[in-house]
A = this chain, B = another copy of it.
Amino acid sequence: MRVVVPVSGSDPKTRLAPVLTPDERRDFTEAMLADVLRSLEKTDRATEVVATASVACDAPVTVDERGLDALVNDLLAETDGKLAVVMADLPLLTPDAVETLFAPDADVVLAPGLGGGTNAFVSRHPDFRVDYHGASIRDHRDIARAAGASVAEVDSRRLATDIDVPGDIAEVLLHSDGAAADWLRDAGFELVVTDSRVTVERV
């Protein structure tokens, strides 16, 4: 099964702009991508990257400027629906979490992201297609069922934690010692403990 990691190479992670410059956002994106690729490689899955602009990484990269839906739906058509897609902004990913995604014996396996997104999927059904806008996890459940596919959802915090906004950064420092965590520490981010949840500060 082809395993594809889509990533924005041009102006990635715009919602991190309050804490990172454009160059830093590109570097941090490449560090998160490195973490994702390493976890996938440790499970012996050959992985391809599809990027909207060139990115530095240890996997074959295809540059494709189209939006995510067009790109992934073309790949689903090409592969007769036998495809896995894992997002590039999951630096908490581990090989065990990858195995969780591939384990269920269902036509379509969905990994929900926090906030209604779909952070990864495995499709083994010819008619599954994606629609990443809005609450995509609900749409993907509906699309899979409408196609007559059996659906499983995985319960993984590591697959659910995508890093989109400054408030997400603490999770990387709390639960990873990979390239993204190293990058953040080198850039001066550290955990700040308050009475409620943990946040980060850049020093």
Number of copies: 2
Distance in angstroms between the alpha carbons of A11 and B63 in the assembled complex: 54
The listed residue (B115, B158, B174) touching A138 by CB distance below 8 A is B174
Tell yes or no: A2 within 8 A of B by CB.
Answer: no
Query: What total of chain A residues lie within 8 Å of the partner, measured CB to CB?
Result: 34
Residue in B closest to A116 when the chains form the complex, CB atoms: B198
**Any chain B CB within 8 A of the CB of A73?**
no
Knowing A138-B174, A174-B135, A193-B135 touch, does A155 contact B96 (C-beta < 8 A)?
yes
| Contact A94-B198, Cβ < 8 Å, known A115-B170, A160-B160, A170-B116 | no
Chain B residues within 8 Å of A170, by CB: 115-116
Task: Determine whether the beta carbon of B15 is less than 8 Å from that of A196.
Answer: yes
